[in-house]
Amino acid sequence: MLQDGKVIEGGGEAKPMVDVKASCLCGSGQPAEKCHLDWDGRLRKQMPSLTPPGAITKFSHPSCYLRGTQNCSEDISREHYVSKSVLDQIGSTLRVTGMPWLGVDEALETSVASLTAKILCSRHNETLGPLDQEAALIFGKLRLALTDLDRKTLSRKPILHLVSGEMLELWMLKVACGIFYSVGGVENGQRLSAVSKIDLDKVSRAFFEDRWDERAGLYFRGDIGQGFKVSLDVAVAPLRDPETATYCGVRMELQGMLLDFLFDSSTTGPWPWPGFTRRPSELIFQRGPRTHGLVLSWPPGTPDIGVRLKHGKGPPRERLSFA
């Protein structure tokens, strides 16, 4: 955590020191006590409701993967399953790896224009929109931080940005569903949905009830002090158990960082998982004496664990293993 301008490396719990009179880290310009300071003294962005407003429609659109809620609209939308607002910041292509029909070192290069599919009804697509907005904000803050670290300045003051870890986690669930239903193979046009199975009850519970598998969630994969890159790029790979063909989540490689997201942990091995940090409260980027940080807010009771990344070191490349 960053406390009094000093970096305390992760691996344990720490209570952040919040100046309630200082400007909120969200960038609103308002004092923290009048903005995102929560009842427990933590800065926290509140989750919007993702349940469609109004009465339940009692209709299940056959092409909407959230049809199990029986709360669909009758029209289907064309959805960017990796948000266009995010892709516009990182480039025109997304690298997809780890598909069953790809070789170990093969990647599927996919354009922004092709990253759409009719997999959500308009009703659900609209209510999940805030997840895309928050992801775009997070990528924008990350881009700002890394660009600033790359310039020469005499300033040594740490700069922090408040973002929602909960919404980032749910955005990755949205990406995971998009990858599952939409990305075709290079040769035979297969999709993950043709060779894997997904538990849509777990997907719906996570979106609408904040109920997760015991070991599910967003994980930072790596060691404290590992590296990051300044150039903006992203790659996504599915996480699946090959023995049971269970689709479990996605891995995202971002700026040299590895983020694993699991919504189905039924096939994973027992604790502990060395090198995995679940729901990190801060990601601190350091280059020389200068630091930027993303403060990720989580529900009350989430352990407070910060991770520091240093410029110029290579990240680990191990894959998530399953039982």
The values of phi and psi at residue 116, to 5°, are -130, 155
297 is in which domain, residue-wise? 37-45+56-311
Assigned domain for 29 exists = no
Tokens coding 267: 């096939």
Question: Does residue 167 contact residue 45 with C-beta atoms inside 8 Å?
Answer: yes
Looking up tokens 């290069």 gives 109
Q: Cα–Cα distance between 28 and 22 in angstroms, integer?
A: 11
Q: Which three-class secondary structure state does DSSP give residue 189? A: coil
Q: Are strands 159-164 and 290-297 parallel, antiparallel or unpaired?
A: parallel
104 Cβ contact partners less than 8 Å away, ≥ 6 residues apart: none
Helices within the chain (DSSP H only):
84-90, 122-127, 129-149, 165-182, 192-195, 200-209
- What is the model's pLDDT at position 14? 43
Task: Report yes or no on 13 lying in a domain.
Answer: no
What is the reported pLDDT for 3? 30
Q: Residue 312: its pLDDT value, please?
A: 57
| Cross-strand bridge partners of residue 76 | 121
What would the 3-class secondary structure string for 43-90 be?
ECCCCCCCCCCCCCCCCCCCCCCCHHHCCCCCCEEEEECCCHHHHHHH
87's CB contacts (< 8 A; 6+ apart) are 80, 94, 112, 115
Q: Is residue 14 part of a domain?
A: no
Taking the C-alpha atoms of residue 115 and residue 152, their distance in angstroms, rounded to an integer, is: 37
Q: What single-letter amino acid sits at 168?
A: L
**Residues 230/150, Cβ–Cβ less than 8 Å:** yes
Write the CA distances from 38 to 20, 112, 318, integer angstroms: 11, 38, 37
Number of structural domains the chain divides into: 1
pLDDT tens for each residue of the chain, 323 residues long: 223 223 333 344 344 456 788 899 988 999 998 999 998 888 999 999 999 999 999 999 999 999 999 999 999 987 766 666 776 666 666 677 666 666 667 777 766 666 677 899 999 999 999 998 998 888 888 888 888 887 777 677 788 899 999 999 999 999 899 888 876 544 455 778 888 899 999 999 999 999 999 999 999 886 544 445 555 566 788 898 989 999 999 988 776 678 899 999 999 888 788 888 899 999 888 888 888 889 999 999 998 888 888 765 444 433 332 22
Contacts of 189 (CB under 8 A, 6+ apart): none
**Which residues have C-beta within 8 Å of that of residue 274, sequence separation ≥ 6?**
none
**Residue 206 domain-assigned (yes or no):** yes
The answer as to whether 31 is a domain residue is no
Q: Tell me the two tokens of residue 75.
A: 């029209």
pLDDT at 236: 81
For the chain, the C-alpha Rg in angstroms (whole number) is 20
Between strands 290-297 and 282-287, the pairing is antiparallel
Compute the distance between CA of residue 282 and CA of residue 306 in angstroms, rounded to an integer.
Answer: 4
Q: Report residue 37 as tokens.
A: 């300071």
Is residue 27 one of the residues assigned to a domain?
A: no
Handedness of CA 34, 36, 42, 46 (dihedral sign): positive
Residue 163: strand, helix, or coil = strand
pLDDT at position 169: 96
What pLDDT is attached to residue 318?
36
In this predicted structure, what is the pLDDT of residue 279? 94
